[in-house]
């Protein structure tokens, strides 16, 4: 697994469950759209995390991404 990052808006739920208010209340950062649903969130590398500035009210959140294998190609 590879560690990557998204930006979560402080004060909104980190986890969101379909059909629960948190599904709509949770906010994550998109460079194109600003704050929105986590399905549109941008994903950042560890290097980007160290060099980019957070938007107001933002915090870094680790996510884990499966790396492709030879079988996936």
User: Which residues, listed in sequence order, are joined to residue 9 by a DSSP beta bridge?
Assistant: 58
Give pLDDT, residue 13. Answer: 74
Query: Do 43 and 66 touch, CB atoms closer than 8 A?
Result: no
Query: Do 63 and 5 touch, CB atoms closer than 8 A?
Result: yes
pLDDT in tens, 8-63: 999 887 766 667 665 567 899 999 999 998 889 999 999 999 999 999 999 999 99
Query: How far is it, in rounded angstroms, from Cα 23 to Cα 43?
Result: 19
Long-range contacts of 11-15 (CB under 8 A, 24+ apart): 11/57, 14/61
């Amino acid at each position: 697994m590879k560690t990557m990052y998204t930006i979560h808006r402080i004060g909104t739920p980190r986890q969101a469950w379909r059909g629960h208010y948190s599904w709509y209340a949770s906010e994550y950062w998109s460079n194109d759209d600003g704050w929105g649903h986590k399905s549109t969130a941008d994903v950042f590398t560890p290097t980007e995390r160290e060099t980019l500035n957070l938007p107001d009210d933002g915090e870094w959140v680790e996510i884990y991404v499966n790396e492709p294998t030879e079988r996936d190609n």
